[in-house]
């Protein structure tokens, strides 16, 4: 009789103790089966495809910063062998041309960076070069933003960002790659 009365008292409450175990099981299942995928990368915008051969536009050589990467992953910057390590600084100097040199860009809006690689160039090298050139532009924009507004580029308003972007436009042109060292 004592037992029965105890059960009566319990019956109006569902035992929630095992809920935690069930939830734990689910939690562990999700922990094991899922991977937190950090998805980051270098964002690029490809030029639209057109069947006609592109118009040959004559550029002043002083405005073009040509970067060639061969199948041995060696760099040729403006006709001279170079290394990736000082590519960023050299590109920055070329774009801004602080000392108004005759052989560098007239002004940032006219500067064009041209990359040409080989089909045998390793992707790692290619991305490193691309990254350095993009970094050069990002740093320049940051410096400009600091000077004008006293803030980092990413913290500016859209209007201000657009203004700086038009002042220092990112122009990285990629030529059709050569084919000397394609692996088989």
Partner 1 sequence: MGKFTKKRGKSTPAISTASLPDIIFMLLFFFMVVTVLRDSELKVNNNVPQATELTKLEKKSLVNYLYIGRPLKQYQATYGTKPRLQLGDKFSDVTEIPLFLEKHRSSVPENQRPGINSSLRVDGKVTMGIVTDVKTELRKAGQLKVNYSAKPRAK
Q: Among the candidate windows 19-27, 60-68, 101-109, 143-151, which touches partner 1 by CB under 8 A?
A: 19-27
Q: Does 114 bind partner 1 (CB under 8 A)?
A: no
Cα separation, 37 vs 39, in Å, equals 6
Q: Which is nearer to partner 1, 90 or 121 (CB)?
A: 121
Q: Does 66 bind partner 1 (CB under 8 A)?
A: no
Q: Does 70 bind partner 1 (CB under 8 A)?
A: no
Cα separation, 90 vs 108, in Å, equals 14
Q: Does 126 bind partner 1 (CB under 8 A)?
A: yes
Cα separation, 110 vs 95, in Å, equals 9
Residues belonging to the chain: 184
Q: How far is the CB of 117 from partner 1 (least distance, A)?
A: 5
Residues 165-184 that bind partner 1 (CB under 8 A): 177, 179, 181-184
Cα separation, 147 vs 163, in Å, equals 13
Cα separation, 65 vs 110, in Å, equals 11
Cα separation, 116 vs 177, in Å, equals 6
Binding site for partner 1 (CB under 8 A): 16-17, 19-20, 22-24, 26-27, 30-31, 33-37, 39-49, 71, 117-124, 126-128, 130-131, 134-135, 138, 177, 179, 181-184
């Amino acid at each position: 009789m004592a037992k029965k009365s105890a059960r009566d008292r319990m019956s109006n409450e569902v035992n929630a103790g095992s809920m935690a175990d069930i939830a734990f099981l689910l939690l562990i299942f999700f922990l094991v089966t899922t991977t937190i995928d950090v998805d980051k990368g270098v964002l690029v915008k490809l030029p639209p495809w057109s069947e006609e051969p592109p118009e040959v536009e004559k550029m002043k050589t002083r405005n073009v910063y040509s970067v060639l990467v061969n199948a041995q992953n060696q760099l040729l910057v403006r006709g001279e062998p170079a290394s990736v390590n000082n590519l960023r600084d050299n590109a920055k100097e070329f774009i801004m041309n602080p000392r108004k040199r005759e052989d560098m860009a007239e002004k940032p809006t006219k500067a064009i960076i041209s990359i040409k690689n080989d089909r045998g160039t390793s992707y790692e090298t290619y991305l490193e070069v691309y990254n350095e050139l993009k970094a050069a532009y990002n740093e320049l924009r940051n410096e400009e933003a600091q000077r004008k507004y006293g803030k980092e580029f990413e913290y500016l308003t859209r209007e201000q960002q657009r203004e700086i972007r038009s002042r220092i436009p990112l122009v990285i042109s990629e030529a059709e790659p050569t084919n000397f060292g394609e692996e088989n």
